[in-house]
Structure formats: structure tokens, C-alpha cells
Amino acid sequence: MPTEYSPVAELNLLKEFQDGVGYENYADGFGLSEYGDMSGLVAGWSDDPEFTGRLIPFAQATGGGSFYALCLPRRRSRRWRTAARRPHRCRRPARGRLR
């Protein structure tokens, strides 16, 4: 049985597809990166653990440093919000605080 890329089934399917066709070979500038790699987030956004602790990066969006990340709800659970609920956005901290 192959090792899972992430705890998200759809991302695992996308990773399996990417492994077959190649990184960035199925969408211009898009490619799954190491799941949970915080290096780009900390370097480009914030090193505040209250902020970074709610984001889980999983893919590059462009060749210019943008990326995709899953956003956990404010409460300390590991449950994802569903599409049926009110949308939730992770925002960059203002003056070291989370909005």
C-alpha cells in the first residue's frame, strides 16, 4: 500500500496523478509540494505560531512563490470547515495579532 501524502483523500489522489504525469506538467505553475512544509509561509508571511499553526501548506500556486494552504478554524480542533458552513478566511496577522 502506498504511503499517504496527506490526511486529505482528494490531495492523495492528486499526488498520485502528479507522480504519474510529473510536477507542473498538468497545470501551469501548479504542483504539490511537501505537505505541511512551513518554510515558504514563515519566510514570506509570518513566523507567528498563532497564525502559522492554523495553516497547512500543500502546493505551489505559481513559479513566483505563491502557495496553497488549508486553513484550520480558529478553535483548536483539527476538523475542517465544510462548504455548507459560513466561509472562513485565514488572514495575515496585523501588528503581530490574528484578526
Entry pTM: 0.67
Domain that holds residue 8: 1-99
The Cα–Cα gap between 44 and 49 comes to 14
pLDDT tens readout for residues 32-63: 999 999 988 888 788 888 888 888 999 988 87
pLDDT tens readout for residues 11-25: 999 999 999 999 989
Count up the domains in the chain and report the number.
1
CB 88 within 8 A of CB 40: no
Instruction: Tell which wins on pLDDT, 65 or 5.
Output: 5
The Cα–Cα gap between 52 and 4 comes to 23
CA nearest to 74, candidates 59, 58, 91, 60: 91
Helical spans, DSSP H, in 22-98: 39-44, 49-52
Phi, psi of 39 (to 5 degrees): -60, -45
The Cα–Cα gap between 68 and 37 comes to 11
